[in-house]
Amino acid sequence: MEEIIQEINELRQLPYVYDDDSFSFDRKNGYIYVSLSIRVDLPAKGPVNDVRTIEPVIIVLPPDFPKNYPRVFLKRDDFPPVHHLTRRPGDFWGEICLTRQPAPDWWHGKTLGNAVLAAYKWLTDAAAGELVKKDDPFEPLIVDGRNPVVEVDFDIARKEARKNGGVWDTSAHQIIVPNLAEVRFIIGSGDVPTRLWYQAHLQATPWSVVPVDLDGVLELASTIGLKKEKVRYWIEKGGTKSNRVLTVFGVKRPKLVLGQAGTEEWVAFDFHRENQRDKWTVTSHLVLRRFDQDFARSLSGFGHIREQKKVLVLGAGAFGSTICELLARSGMVDLTIIDNDTLRPYNLARHTLTGKEIGQPKAIAVADRLNSVFVTKNVAFGIFKNFLDLSDEEIREQLNGVECILDLSASVAVQNRIALIPDRQIPLVSAFQILSGKGTMALVEDFNIRGRADIIEAAMMMREREDPVIAGWLTEKIEPLAIGGGCSSGSARIPDALVKIGAAWVANAVLYWLSSKEWPLKPMYGIQRNSFDPNPIIETEWKQVETEPIAKTIAGWSAFVLTSVINDLNRFAQNAGTAETGGILVGRVNRQSKVLPHRTFVWVPPICCGRIIVFLTGMS
């Protein structure tokens, strides 16, 4: 406290502080009130805005000063309304804006003398009529930030308001925010009568007084070109249906509004009364743009995308849930998520879901989480089923309108089931992480599906056998952490950071292909290599796969062979002597789908008879 008193007394030494009997300070309810007068340098042509040579101010220091910033009020109730001056409800004097940036950021590292200096500069600018400088944001109407906010779809508001002569009759829905004692209004649905006015003509008059009653709102409305009688009519008409009426004003401004990209200022007034005989009381609300998919696309850099992209996701584990969230928040993707697992405590180490969803189906819980982000529209739909149990008819229903299948199940059986979908014309991205966490792999089918995911995986295994990530994936013995004693209740030891790095890489690629409409013309695979240490190295690469699947059907069996394998066989045959074969083809047979081989490579040809002999393993 002694240090604060010393800092207050040092203000007397400042050249622009008028040291007279008005200098004093007092303590009340933990706050310190410092009264002083500031000398103002008036312009040569005389005072502007009725600013005087000596202006009394009062500085309010919060209980946690100097950790928190002080506020400066003009000690004059007749100070003219100017820019960057606001009177809050309950404040007798107007508060000046010491900074155009967030006050906590501005205050960091400063002293009380800096606040008085800012007040001195503000008064000097006010006297010269230079409070609003070139490219300086216009100060919006300050409202009580403790009140709930109002979300408005600005595009709909402008369109509907203009169509209805400036008035948009609508309603507002109250949504309780979990664990917070506040209400969020969503304009456009519900039962709270609402009148919205969008003033398309530029307004230069500042809003410097926050109304606290109906007369104050009517007076403010008149300053922006509205008729008091009309505004009163709106409120009284809504009052015949409800004892609560919401009035929203959207006004064009000649400058940018702080916190919004545009030349508009929005404010809402919430009218209450206990019954129809009582007078209206009013509270003010911040108006924010509703976070919908259009807004999300704009923020994510996909504003040029007009139509939603539908993606079918298989698997909602840690890896899958993270990718789902990244896709949904882009604003351009609608998701159908299929998974037959429920959230368990050990999943929380890496999953996007929280402890509140323990025991819930992952697919449904993830979809609910994503839908809560956008509030007004469902962007995801969860299905608590095993994809392998779906019939062809059920799968065709889920694929209606889908532009991409995203297989994040890390299941060979699921990958094979997708390959068996009749007449499938939808490309597949199959991605998974290895248990050690050292890498992520992705298999991408081309748009015409000339190369299936299993064939692409075979090519990756053949080409990259020496790659540390692939070699580790094929040979490392990773013992999972056993949870609960069940055979299938195991969890890998991977930091969440590595899961998110891999998920971001896959999601970024999918978003690029969906937004650019340049789906890969050739199948390819990608490998991401990473490490978990103080100097992590993250490397990624994509490689195309030349495929020419030979599908020769005999008795219902089909043979699929990579082009690279065929080329190897031909090369061996050309170089073979009379006592050599062209090579041995090794692969895996899927008897259920009658496809052979799934994964293939060529051995060095052994010494044998003088013709090419091809062996297909696994046949009976």
CATH number of the domain within which 461 lies: 3.40.50.720
Give the C-alpha separation, 407 to 431, whole Å. 6
The verdict on 405 and 494 lying in the same domain is: yes
Segment 528-544, tens digit of pLDDT: 998 877 787 888 999 99
Q: What is the DSSP string of 50-106?
A: T--SEEEEEEEE-TTTTTS--EEEES-TTPPP-TTEEB-TT-SSPEE-S-SS-HHHH
**Segments forming the whole domain that contains residue 18:** 2-128
563 within a domain of the structure (yes/no): yes
> Which of the residues in the chain have pLDDT under 50?
180-181, 256-261, 582, 598-599, 605-620
The enclosing domain of 78 has a CATH number of 3.10.110.10
pLDDT value for 441: 94
The candidate with the shortest Cα–Cα distance to 167, out of 191, 189, 198, is: 198
430 within a domain of the structure (yes/no): yes
145 within a domain of the structure (yes/no): no
Cis, peptide link before residue 361, omega less than 30° from 0: no
Cα-to-chain-centroid distance, residue 116: 40
Question: What global pTM score does this model have?
Answer: 0.76
447 within a domain of the structure (yes/no): yes
Give the C-alpha separation, 368 to 378, whole Å. 8
135 within a domain of the structure (yes/no): no
The verdict on 584 and 536 lying in the same domain is: no
The verdict on 36 and 74 lying in the same domain is: yes
The verdict on 168 and 285 lying in the same domain is: yes
The verdict on 432 and 360 lying in the same domain is: yes
The verdict on 273 and 316 lying in the same domain is: no
502 within a domain of the structure (yes/no): yes
- Tokens, residue 31: 């706050």
Torsion, CA 453, CA 457, CA 458, CA 459, rounded to 10 = 100
Domain boundary among 518, 544, 570: 544
The verdict on 418 and 531 lying in the same domain is: yes
Mean pLDDT for the chain overall? 81
Domain boundary among 97, 128, 159: 128
pLDDT value for 494: 86
The verdict on 508 and 452 lying in the same domain is: yes
The verdict on 275 and 333 lying in the same domain is: no
The verdict on 379 and 455 lying in the same domain is: yes
570 within a domain of the structure (yes/no): yes
The verdict on 88 and 100 lying in the same domain is: yes
296 within a domain of the structure (yes/no): no
**8 Å CB contact between 148 and 184:** yes
The label of the residue with tokens 């937004």 reads 515
What total number of domains does the chain contain? Answer: 4
Which residues make Cβ contacts (< 8 Å) with residue 463, sequence separation at least 6?
A: 543, 564
The verdict on 465 and 497 lying in the same domain is: yes
